[in-house]
Amino acid sequence: MKAQDSIFVTYACLLLIVGNLYSYYLQPPIIYSLLFNTTFFVWYIFHQILYYQDFVVPIAVIIIFFLIRTLLPAFLLEAGITPKYTMIAHDQWFVAPVWENGIRLFFVGAAASIFGWQCLSGGIRSENFEGGRSINLVRLERSAFVFFLIALLFYLYFFAINFGSPSAIFAVMMGGQLRAGEIITQGTTRFSYLSQHFMFWSSILLGILLRYKGKKWYVYLLPAFLVFILRVPFGGRVQAATPLLLTLIGAYYVGQGLSFRSIKVGHVFRMFGRFFVILALGSFVSFLMLVYRNQGLGKVSENINTEEFQSFFVNTGLWYELGFISPFSYAVQFGAGCYDVPVGRMLFSGYTAFFLGLTDVKKPGGFFTEKIIGRDFGWGIHTGIIVDLYVYSGLIMLIAGCLAFGLLLKLAYARLIRKNTNVIKVLFYIYLFNHFFWAQFESVVGFTSAIYESLIFLMVILFFSLLFVKRSGLT
């Protein structure tokens, strides 16, 4: 029955792609596409959770974030409600039929991702969890702790060489100015870079190991929470919170030893109830962080009231925080293939792009901002894999790329989580899932170098654990 069910869903996904392509070219009333696709995606999320008996099966997590970011503002626009403010002056992303074709573009990409996931069989059976029988977990925990301290030293050194005295550091932290690059001494961001990556992976590894040892949630989440607090001054809200999300997913797998209990529909509804509570709390924290980075910590206490938060949520949060379909509108507005850049820029970012001389080539988000404003504004919006592939080469590249995205996501899940897994395999799955998540959330540009650059930091932590002297009785 499982095999027959999988074949049925695969064909349904293929028909969904065809139906959305039909909608994209012939443009029937958008409400039909919204209702049909929403119904299918919600059903598919429930189906995958029950099919794999896994609350955080990755394709369901990805689709949930897709839906939150796109369908919430789409239904508001269809109801005739438009945003009061725009992020960019003279921006008309919410005017029909631009936003309607943008959302159709999203449906094509999302359906292709699901089809790619369905095309790879396997990953149904969960075999024995090996735990740490072949791994010295004590060494691993020590190594993670050492590199967390090293990351903290890089963090403190970065502040010391940029701002000197404790009073100056305190003023910068209070003022929320660190996001502004002009206050940072040139050549010192390397220390922030080292701190960020070592802190990121060591905190996640510590959290997973603490959960494996049976510690309570407030213990195993402590390292990731410390990273969140320390990264907040840099202004990246999602980047600061990502270790918390990844630690929770890793802890979920190692905590129950992959002995997936029987999940019923009622369990899924209760899990979604908790998810929306966390989402509401996250929205409020996001609001406070936005106030902090724009006006400083002193203004945060002044804005902790219901009226201010309601104004933020209605005018900004629904359109540019939780919801965010403007990049899809820009993709339609500027057209397929408008992002004409070297192939190397699509593959490489960060320090690799710097050494290859590709740093002057903007990501699609920066490209959109410059096109709308008419000058280089110094920042860009999040776009994601669907928008990036479409503006780079059109619908064929979009479908092929999203299909590969879903297939590779399934491959990582089937090989690292559902088959003879252990703590290290869970860690590497988290490592890959992090990059899949960022590809759909921010941008696929530079995906290749982002993968291997962060892998270097993770491997350094793992190899360093081999240097600790083995003691009797430790495993």
Give the model confidence (pLDDT) of 380-389 as tens digits. Answer: 788 889 999 9
Model pLDDT, residue 72 = 83
Please state at what angle helix 447-464 crosses helix 137-163, rounded to 10 degrees. 120
The pLDDT score that the predictor gives to residue 159 is 83
| pLDDT bracket for residue 404 (50, 70, 90) | very high
The pair phi, psi for residue 247, each rounded to 5°, is -65, -40
Residue 156 CA to residue 148 CA, distance in Å, equals: 12
Position 57 confidence tier, pLDDT thresholds 50, 70, 90: very high
Taking 50 as the threshold, does the pLDDT of residue 472 lie above it?
A: no
Give the pLDDT mean for 229-240: 78
* pLDDT tops 50 at residue 444: yes
Each residue's pLDDT tens digit, 241-297: 889 999 999 998 887 644 455 666 666 667 767 666 776 676 667 666 666 666 666
In this prediction, residues 130-156 reach a mean pLDDT of: 82
Q: Which whole number is the average pLDDT over 396-423?
A: 90
CA–CA–CA angle 120, 123, 127 (5° rounding): 155
State how far the Cα of 129 lies from the Cα of 144, in Å rounded to an integer.
Answer: 22
Quick one: pLDDT band at residue 14, thresholds 50, 70, 90?
confident
Reported confidence tier of residue 418, pLDDT bands at 50, 70, 90: confident
pLDDT tier at 10 (50, 70, 90 boundaries)?
confident
pLDDT at 45 over 80: yes
Please tell me the least confidently modeled range out of 31-40, 300-309, 346-355: 300-309
pTM, rounded to two decimals: 0.86
Highest mean pLDDT among 87-96, 132-141, 214-223: 214-223
CA distance 63 to 111: 10
Q: And the tokens for 277?
A: 């509570």
The amino acid that residue 7 corresponds to is I
What is the rounded CA–CA span in Å between residue 116 and residue 399? 10
| Closest to 333 measured CA to CA, from 367, 377, 376 | 367
pLDDT at 311 over 90: no
Nearest C-alpha neighbor of 341 from the set 384, 392, 380, 381: 392
* Nearest residue to 33 (alpha-carbon basis) of 65, 77, 84, 64: 77
CA separation for the pair 299, 313 (Å, rounded)? 18
User: Which range, 71-75, 184-188, 293-297, is most confident?
Assistant: 71-75
pLDDT of amino acid 249 = 92
pLDDT band at 312 (very low <50, low <70, confident <90, very high): low
* Confidence grade of residue 84 (pLDDT, cut at 50, 70, 90): confident
Q: What is the mean pLDDT of the chain?
A: 80
Task: Return the higher-pLDDT residue of 452 and 333.
Answer: 333
Distance spanning both ends of the chain, measured CA to CA: 41
Q: At 473, is the pLDDT very low, low, confident or very high (cuts 50, 70, 90)?
A: very low
Question: 191 vs 351, which has greater pLDDT?
Answer: 191
Look at residue 254 in the predicted model and tell me its pLDDT. Answer: 87
Question: What one-character DSSP code corresponds to residue 96?
Answer: T
The pLDDT confidence band at residue 88, using thresholds 50, 70 and 90, is: low
- Length reported for the chain: 475
- Share above pLDDT 90 across residues of the chain, in percent, rounded to a whole number: 28
Neighbours of 437 (CB within 10 A): 20
DSSP characters over 210-261: HHHTT--HHHHTHHHHHHHHHHGGG--HHHHHHHHHHHHHHHHHHHTTT-PP
What average pLDDT does range 182-194 have in this prediction?
74
